[in-house]
Amino acid sequence: MGDKYRFELIGFPIKHSNSPWIHESFFNRSKLQGTYIKNEIPLEDDFAEKIMQMKARDIDGFNITVPYKQTIIPYLDEVDAVAAKIGAVNTVLNRNGIWKGYNTDGSGYLRSLESKFSTFGEDKSIRILILGAGGAARGIFCAFTEEGFTHIDIANRTMARAEEIAKLATDKTTTKILTLEEAEQSINQYDLIIQTTSVGMKPATDQSIISLEHLNTSCIVSDIVYQPLKTNLLTQAEAAGAQIHYGHTMLLYQAQLAFEIWTGELVSTENMDKELQLILE
């Protein structure tokens, strides 16, 4: 029997994380052997010491989730160019003691769209609107600009944060900054709307971040919130006749990319979308 891979997840809180389930499924599907365990690091713990212990364990790789995606960077030997641009790392590969950081959040999100909509990505001139300007929006914006999409606008409650993200655009990308009210008024101009804020996590009280009244029915509306699985925004979008894209698929594909970085294997995610949906429901 060959060596077993050893992967971990660090973050806080991570008790309810579905990543171990996803990576165990990948091991089963790929016939590779290994473990993926949670290593919760409470905020009061000595982060540097925890990282030194991980170095000593010489694990093959790990994922990083909130609140440590930026904190981890000084402990790395190398950082991939896109992750450096995003300023956050969610995946680390240990190759002979050299730790290299990557960010698979935005690229995983892009892959989730490509897997759901077969022609997605063929037309790079589609008009995209990102709602929100936090870490998730930053990762998604960078992945789309790197991929060559040419029209990506950003609407956020705090305009300055959206402006910071817009500075990361490549030469090919045109980006407008909008207020949430302006976004609502021009909503019919977009082919893809990506909701990246935390609004929607409390379905009983959260209104949709914007009204979709004037939505173009050929539009795809995507919400990266996955608890609840179907946010009020997605319900509204579906009722308006648009196509919808669920947030949990981002989780699946960022994990598929991380597993590929660690093992070199592109594992099939067939049916996992539905299986994960059942777990989350």
Binding residues: 17-19, 65, 90, 105, 132-136, 156-161, 224, 226, 247, 254
Single residue of 61, 135, 228, 247 touching ligand ATR by CB under 6 A: 135
Does residue 55 carry a catalytic annotation? no
Q: Given candidates 11, 101, 132, 247, which one binds ligand ATR under the rule CB under 6 A?
A: 132
Please give, one letter per residue, the 3-state secondary structure of 206-254: CCCCCCCCCCCCCCEEEECCCCCCCCHHHHHHHHCCCEEECCHHHHHHH
d(CA 159, CA 162): 5
Give the whole-angstrom CA distance, residue 95 versus residue 52. 16
Please identify which residue in 12, 161, 238, 243 interacts with ligand ATR, judged by CB under 6 A: 161
Does 222 participate in binding ligand ATR (rule CB under 6 A)?
Answer: no
Window of 36-44, 89-97, 134-142, 227-235 that interacts with ligand ATR by CB under 6 A: 134-142
Query: Which position among 69, 85, 100, 230 bears the catalytic label?
Result: 69
The window from 2-10, 155-163, 229-237, 247-255 that contacts ligand ATR (CB under 6 A) reads: 155-163
**Category of 121 on φ-ψ map: left (φ > 0), alpha (ψ -120 to 50) or beta:** left
Structural contact between residues 197 and 203, judged by C-beta atoms closer than 8 angstroms: no
Q: Is 129 in the site for ligand ATR (CB under 6 A)?
A: no
Binding residues for ligand ATR, rule CB under 6 A, total: 15
Binding status of residue 233 toward ligand ATR by CB under 6 A: no
Q: What is the four-CA torsion angle of 142, 147, 149, 155, rounded to 10 degrees?
A: -20
Residue 34's closest CA among 61, 65, 64?
61
Which parts of this chain interact with ligand ATR (CB under 6 A)?
A: 132-137, 156-158, 161, 196-199, 209
Active site residues: 69
